[in-house]
Each structure stands twice: as structure tokens, then as C-alpha cells.
Amino acid sequence: MFIERDITNQLIQAPAWIQILLGPRQCGKSTLFASLFSPNKPFKEITFDDLQLRQLANHDPALFLQQFEPPLLLDEIQYVPNLFPELKKKIDQIKRARVFESGSAEKQSVLFRLTGSNQILMDKNVKESLAGRASYYHLNTLTVHEILRALPETSIQDILFNGGWPELYINKTLSVTTYLNDYIRSYVEKDIILSAGIQKMSEFLTVLRLCAARTGQETDYTDIHKDSGVSSVTVKEWISILERADLVYQLKPFFNNLNKRLIKRPKLYFLDTGLATRLQGWSEVVPLLHSPQMGGLFETLVLVEILKFIRNAGKDWELFFWRTKDGQEIDILLKTARGELHAFEAKYAVHGVSKAVAYPPAFQKEFSPKTPMVVVTSGGRKLELSSNCMVIPIAELHDYLQSLPQ
């Protein structure tokens, strides 16, 4: 079963000589890229998890490319930094040849599709720029929209518990707990901890679990330090590593520099709720639904759905939250490219929203918002509660975002 991805149109409509897709392991990068190659023109897929191929590409990249002519799908490219200069040379040769053949280099097609799951190694090893030859994209786990389009009977509760890992929806016999435990051991412990040069694995995993317990909350390094015994400076460094690995996201506060009443710390979110629930220790859905963590987890699901929409659609939009020190707040604030503000509140309980939610007085006074407050719930139906407030189930959030002006 192939689950269609929302980023597909962006990849098709903006071709480059080389497309590079970044994102965590097992989120579907190579499967997506394989689906984009023309069935009339066979391609070769090579993974650099294969040590023999990795050594060849690093030790003699020219020989490697002689043996494997494009179109190529190269998986886990962070392991072969020496291949990048040769790819640049190869593209330049093809461009020159096309100029001589047709008098123009405009006949551009995707010859190489590359995936990378370790941004830390990418930053460390890939020095050669492919500017003008490559386009970079980010893919994470499945969105609510992608899952429901492929499997409309899936419940929001299962999506929240499982996360967006494609394999858990394609192969229903898999144990969610076992799958995510294996993922943490293979990707987090080996790829991230080792490549970042972290010596204290146990302490890092403790901080990771404490971060998962705080998804949807303000990032408080001192608080995590007190619970973990790891210094605040190190906690900050490790969260930065998790952010580079695309496992967590820090939502910045929206404020006027002159306004001292506002909270200045970012909020921390996991980019997959399934990973967060596993790190929190949940092994069944029902107990989770009645736990104190549900509010933060559902807010995480809403924030991530919006963030992934922005990435998948290639929008030049920004995300923030807004909160005063006396408790007035907006969960998520979206700013479009033309400066229009859209506010979102996450409320898991469908029946918990019976009356219109107004903009906080301080925000209303300073910004005079012209768009309605949007309350996103786990179910129900789209409903206008007033001229300034509407309720939208998360299943329809993608369509609502798509309807917004640039």
C-alpha cells in the first residue's frame, strides 16, 4: 500500500537537477522519491546503509558514478560526503553537453534524488555546496490529512497514539510499542547520540523522556535540569540537537520588544505524537485519553499538522504562540507572507466548546485581529460559533489552511 504525500506536488512542480529530501528515518522519504520516477525510464535505487557501496562512493566517487548512471535514487547520503563534489561535476558535464546539443541548458530534469536522515552528519560532512544544482525539502511523518485520505476509518485517537509512521498504517500486524521502542534504540540511540558525539547516553535518554512529558509546554531548561541532574547548558545543547534531527520543534513567542508583560521562552513540541506517547511510557490508547498529558499531546498534534502543511505546501508562513505573564494566551499564531495573523486554539474535547472563544483582551487591543479565532477539536464538524470564532475538527484543518490567502 502506498500512502500519497502532500509534498508530492511541490516536488513535481519545482524540478531541479538534484532533489534532496531530509527527514527522520522511516518517515517515507525513499518510498516517496521512488514513486516520482517515470515508469518509462527505469531508475536505480542505492542505499548507503550498505557498507560496501558506502566505501566505494567515498573512496572513488567517480568510479561509483560511472557504474551507476542517472536517474538514481541515493538513500542516506550523509554517509558519503565525498560523493557531493563528483555529483556537482557530473551535473555540470550534463549541462554543458545539453548546451552543445540544443544550444540551451533549460531542458532540466531530475537526475538524482537523494535522501538524508541525519542532519547532524549532513552539517558536519557535506561541505561542498550544490547551489544552483540542488533543491532541498523536508519530510516528516504522515499528517492527519494524509492518513485519513488513505484510511478514512482511522480514528484521531489512534493517530495521536501511533503517530505518523507509515509502516504502522501499512502493516497493521505490527506492535506500536515494539516498533517505537526499536525506533528509539536504532535511530535515536545510534544515529543521533553517536553522530553528535554524546558520551552520556543514559542521561540523554532521560532528558529526551522529560522533554516528551513536556510537549506543548514552555521550554524550561532549569526545570529539566532539576529533574534530570543534567546541567541547564547541556539540556539546551541536547534540545538543539533534537531540533536539528527534526524530532522536536521550538515554537517562538510572538511579541513586541517593548512589551515586557509577555512570555519570552519558546514552547517545545515533538514532531510526532506517537514518539512522544511512547517516551512518556504509554502502551495503550484508552488510559492515555484520560490522562493529564492529553491536552499537551493534542495541542502537539494540531501544531504539527499546521507546521507540516506549511512545509509540504512550500508556504512562506511563520508560526508563534502568544502569552502574557498574567495568563492571557493564544496556543498557535500563524503569520502569512503578507502579514495576516490567524489564531488557533487546540481543544481535544468536542463537546467542551459550547460558546465562542474570544481573542484575549491584551492581544485584541494591540493587534486588532481581522480573522476569526479557530478552535481545533478532535472531532465533530465545522461550525461558526460567532462572527469572530469557528470550530474546526482536526480532520478538516488541512482544507482550512489551504483556503487561506498567501
Percentage with pLDDT > 90 across the chain: 67
Residue 271 reports pLDDT greater than 70: yes
Residue 261 pLDDT grade (very low, low, confident, very high; cuts 50, 70, 90): low
- Segment 98-106 shows an average pLDDT of 56
Residue 125 reports pLDDT greater than 70: no
Q: Each residue of 161-190: pLDDT tens digit?
A: 999 999 999 999 999 999 999 999 988 887
Residue 103 reports pLDDT greater than 60: no
Q: Which residues pair with 269 in a beta bridge?
A: 249
Let me know the angle formed at the C-alpha of 346 by 341 and 348, rounded to the nearest 5 degrees.
Answer: 160
Residue 338 phi/psi, 5-degree rounding, is: -95, 10
Query: Rounded to a whole number, what is the distance in angstroms from the first to the last CA of the chain?
Result: 34
Q: Each residue of 325-381: pLDDT tens digit?
A: 888 999 999 999 999 999 999 999 877 676 778 899 989 988 899 999 999 999 988
- How far is the CA of 259 from the CAs of 334, 340, 343, in angstroms? 20, 20, 20
Distance, in Å, from the CA atom of 242 to the CA atom of 244, rounded to the nearest integer, reads: 5
SS (H, E, C) the chain: CCCCCCCHHHHHHCCCCEEEEECCCCCCHHHHHHHHCCCCCCCEEEECCCHHHHHHHHHCHHHHHHHCCCCEEEECHHHCCCHHHHHHHHHHHHHHHHHHHHCCCCCCCCCEEEEECCHHHHHHHCCCCCCCCEEEEECCCCCHHHHHHHCCCCCHHHHHHHCCCHHHHHCCCCCHHHHHHHHHHHHHHHHHHHHCCCCCHHHHHHHHHHHHHCCCEECCHHHHHHHHCCCHHHHHHHHHHHHHCCCEEEEEECCCCCCCCECCCCEEEECCHHHHHHHHCCCCHHHHHCCCCHHHHHHHHHHHHHHHHHHHHCCCCEEEEEEECCCCEEEEEEECCCCCEEEEEEECCHHHCCCCCCCCHHHHHHHCCCCCEEEEECCCCCEEEECCEEEEEHHHHHHHHHHCCC
Residue 196 reports pLDDT greater than 90: no
Residue 288 reports pLDDT greater than 90: yes
Q: Each residue of 38-78: pLDDT tens digit?
A: 777 778 999 998 999 999 999 999 999 999 888 999 999 99
User: How is the chain split into domains, by residue range?
Assistant: 8-138, 144-403
Kindly give, in sequence order, each residue whose CB lies less than 8 Å from that of residue 9, ignoring residues fewer than 6 positions away: none
Please answer whether residues 140 and 119 qualify as being in contact, where contact means their C-beta atoms are separated by less than 8 angstroms: no
Instruction: Provide the grid cell at 147.
Output: 492518513
Per-chain mean pLDDT for the chain: 90
Least confident of 22-26, 246-250, 252-256: 252-256
pTM score, whole prediction: 0.93
Q: What confidence score (pLDDT) does residue 199 get? A: 83
SS (H, E, C) 189-254: HHHHHHHCCCCCHHHHHHHHHHHHHCCCEECCHHHHHHHHCCCHHHHHHHHHHHHHCCCEEEEEEC
Residue 4 reports pLDDT greater than 80: yes
Let me know the angle formed at the C-alpha of 222 by 218 and 225, rounded to the nearest 5 degrees.
Answer: 115
CA 255 to chain centre: 25
Distance, in Å, from the CA atom of 318 to the CA atom of 335, rounded to the nearest integer, reads: 5
Q: What confidence score (pLDDT) does residue 100 get? A: 59
Least confident of 93-97, 169-173, 195-199, 256-260: 256-260
Residue 258 reports pLDDT greater than 60: no
- Segment 23-32 shows an average pLDDT of 94
Residue 104 reports pLDDT greater than 60: no
Question: With respect to CATH, is domain 8-138 assigned 1.10.260?
Answer: no
User: Given the DSSP bridges, would you call strands 318-323 and 329-335 parallel, antiparallel or unpaired?
Assistant: antiparallel
Residue 308 pLDDT grade (very low, low, confident, very high; cuts 50, 70, 90): very high
Residue 213 pLDDT grade (very low, low, confident, very high; cuts 50, 70, 90): very high
The CA-based diameter of the chain, rounded to the nearest angstrom, is 69
